[in-house]
Structure formats: C-alpha cells, structure tokens
Amino acid sequence: MTNRATVVTGLGCLSAAGRDLDTAWKNMMTGVARPHPPTKIRVETKRLSPVFEVADGEWRPSNIPLGRPVDKTLSVEYFLSAFEEALKQAGLSVEDLRGRRVGVCLGTTVGCTLNDERFYRDFRTGLEPGLGAIRRFLDNNPAQFASEALDLRGPVCTINNACSSGTDAVGQAREWIQDGLCDIVIAGGTDELSRIPYLGFSALLNTSEKACKPFDARRDGLNLGEGAGVLIVESRDHAARRGAPALVEVGGYGCSADAHHITAPHPGGLGLERAVRQALADRDPRQVSFINAHGTATVPNDMVEGQTLARLFGPKVAVVGTKSYTGHALGAAGALEAVFTVQGLVKGEIPTTRGFEEPDPECVVVPTVKPTGVARTYAISTSLAFGGTNSAILMSVVP
C-alpha cells in the first residue's frame, strides 16, 4: 500500500429528491419530499407502501458518447446521468479518461436482474422467449458497462453487498487509489425499483404505509427508492497535477460482518461499532461534525444504530437521515448518502430529517429537526445491510 491521500473532485446524483445534486440539495434543505404509491411497477397487495421514484419527466438520459449501442436498463441510465454530472464538476471529459488508469467500482443490489419476470414466466411454461432479456442482463453489469463503454484501463468491480454496496464501492475506490492501482476511480451505486424486492420487503413487514420517519418514536418501516450516486475519486497528487480542486478527502473506511442474523443487526451494534472505529482510525470522535445515518426508519435498525452512534460520539452528535428524501435506494443508498455527506461538509450545513417528530428514548440520538449548521471538519456516513454487513466512510475537509 502506498498510502496516497484520496480525494473527491466530482459529485453527481439522481433520485426522487432531484434530477441533480443542486436540485436535490435545495429540496432537502427546504424539506421537500415526494413519496407516493408506485407507478412504475405493478403491485396487487392490500398493504401498499409509498415509494420514492425517479420521475420520468424530471431527468434526461445522458449525452455521454458510448462505444456501442446497448439496450440500457434504468440502473445504467441512472448511473450515466449521475456520472455525467460528477464528471463535469471534476473538470474531466470522457476523452480525458479513455485508455487511462481509471477504475470503476459501483454498488447495486437489484440492478436489472429482477425486472425480467415475463422472460422467466414464459420460460417456465415451455415457451421460447428468446435471449433478449439475457443479453440485456449481461450487457448491463454497471461497472463492466462503464469500463468497456469508456475504454478504461483500471480495475473493475460491481459490488453486490445488499444495502451497504454503495458505501463499500467508495471505500474500495479509496483502497485502489492507496494501493496505486489507478489514478482515478468512478465510484458509487445505482439501483432501480423492481416489483420483486417491493413485494419481498412488504412480506417482511418492514415497509411503512406512510412516509418513513427515521428515528421517530412512531416509525414503522421503510419506503423503497431508486437512483444513483457517483463520486469521482482520485489521488490528491493526481488532482493537484491537473489543477482540480478537492472537495473533501476520503479519510477512512471500515467494514465488518455481524454474523448474527440474516436481516437484523446485532442488538449491541458490535459490527457497526467495529466499522466506524476502522473508519475513524486514530481520530478523536469529538472531531466528527455530523453523521449521515443509515436511518431506514425500521424499528430495530434505528434503535441499534442510534444507540451505537450515541455510544461512540455522544448523544448530542448531529445526525441526519437523508432516506427521508430518497427512500431506501438499496445498492445506491450508500452512494447517494456519501454524495450528501460530502455536500454537507462543503456547504457547512445539513437538512432536516423529514418526518421526524417525536424522539425515541431507545434510539438515544435525536436527528435534525431543522436545517443545521455544522463544522467543516469530519463527517461519517454509515450503512447497515442484510446479511449483517456494516460499513462506514469518513470524509474530511482538505486542509
């Protein structure tokens, strides 16, 4: 490991909060959120949970030139939209990247794998549905798609680590830079709404029939979402050589596995604590100005996360739950939250946690109830995933 400093030079996002980062941040700072019954997927259940959809009329497909025509999934389209925005802020063009040591690390959970129900039904009933759905699936591995389409020469990885996938992708990007495997990494996550996970989460009884309320005493479940978050991550030296200003440094990353339960976090938050301590390294927790929490608004997750964060940082630490604006975007969640964490440090303020009204003593921490100014020092974003995975990344203002 060369231990090269790793910085973020570009941000991009697409979600129900907005078609780009500026729009999303404005909506979040003014408390605007738009959960509603699903319109893109067909559901026939008595118990209907609202979702945070990317509205078809509020975003435009990317104009990035690709090497060959591909029948793109929404997951790839969402990624390209966020990537184009991040690339512009980083002061880069596609031609600047072609043929160079640029890595791609993207998280996804659903991707396009669960939107081919018709193909599977036809196949099971003895019909011959053709290979179009299979080709589309193989052509739309997000990271591989980006690397091939842009003719990149760095490492490639699509991370499928449930709800921590996007966070892990940013952490992996930092490690690639530190190991000297590449100079730039396109990092983030992307996911689209799908009927199967919607029904699956409903069957688990962990979705709410109302807008989600992270850390609220009356919270009763999550709302699913979709979208993409992209960060342009590069070595500090490389950014300096091309004159690109660094937004923040990716100062730390930690991950662990509870090995406790397939869906529930360890009741003592042991895995989350290990991940956060790894991300902090030898830094004083009191220097952390805020935490963008996983904050799903499910009863056990918020309780365990809140207690763990209070134990590590004190009960008065500033906590925000941005899923109240994006929903739980699965593999894209950690990437979107990483983008918003950087933005909070850059702006020196974080939004209110929408829907929060009544503190829960069992959560200990109380999330933001209004737009809140924060010190431009350190911030942490956390993710707790099915399977017991816990991940955390530390962002810091570049000195």
Digit-by-digit pLDDT tens for the chain (399 residues) are: 456 899 999 999 999 999 999 999 999 999 999 999 999 888 888 889 999 999 888 888 888 887 667 788 899 999 999 999 999 999 999 999 999 999 999 999 876 566 677 787 888 888 888 877 777 777 788 999 999 999 999 999 999 999 999 999 999 999 999 999 999 999 999 999 988 889 989 999 999 999 999 999 999 999 999 999 999 999 999 999 999 999 999 999 999 998 888 888 899 999 999 999 999 999 999 999 999 999 999 999 999 999 999 999 999 999 999 999 999 999 999 999 999 999 999 999 999 999 999 999 999 999 999 999 999 999 999 999 988 899 999 999 987
What stretches of the chain adopt beta strand conformation (E)?
A: 6-15, 102-107, 156-159, 184-191, 227-235, 248-257, 288-292, 318-320, 349-350, 372-373, 378-385, 389-396
For residue 22, give the H/E element and its range. Answer: helix 21-29
Distance between CA atoms of 133 and 138, rounded to whole angstroms?
9
- The amino acid that residue 7 corresponds to is V
Q: What is the CA radius of gyration of the chain?
A: 20
For the domain spanning 6-241, the CATH number is 3.40.47.10
Beta bridge partners of 104: 156, 186
What are the backbone dihedrals phi and psi of residue 131, each rounded to the nearest 5 degrees, phi first?
-100, 10
- Pair 174, 233: CB distance under 8 Å: yes
Asked if 6-241 and 251-396 have one fold, the answer is yes
What pLDDT is recorded for position 30? 97
Distance between CA atoms of 16 and 224, rounded to whole angstroms?
11
In 253-349, which ranges are continuous DSSP H helix? Answer: 270-280, 299-313, 323-326, 333-347
What pLDDT is recorded for position 263? 84
What pLDDT is recorded for position 3? 62
- Residues serving a catalytic function are 163, 294, 328
What pLDDT is recorded for position 259? 85
What pLDDT is recorded for position 1? 46
In CATH, which superfamily holds the domain spanning 251-396? Thiolase/Chalcone synthase (3.40.47.10)
User: What SS3 class is residue 288?
Assistant: strand
Angstrom distances, CA of residue 197 to CA of 164, 167, 202, 296:
16, 20, 8, 15
What are the backbone dihedrals phi and psi of residue 10, each rounded to the nearest 5 degrees, phi first?
-150, 145
pTM score of the predicted model = 0.95
For the chain, the domains span 6-241, 251-396
Angstrom distances, CA of residue 352 to CA of 19, 121, 198, 387:
20, 44, 27, 30
The answer for 3, left when phi > 0, alpha when psi is -120 to 50, beta otherwise, is left
Distance between CA atoms of 306 and 169, rounded to whole angstroms?
24
Angstrom distances, CA of residue 76 to CA of 99, 144, 311:
21, 11, 39
Count helices and strands (H / E) in the chain: 13, 12
Angstrom distances, CA of residue 171 to CA of 6, 338, 385:
10, 10, 15
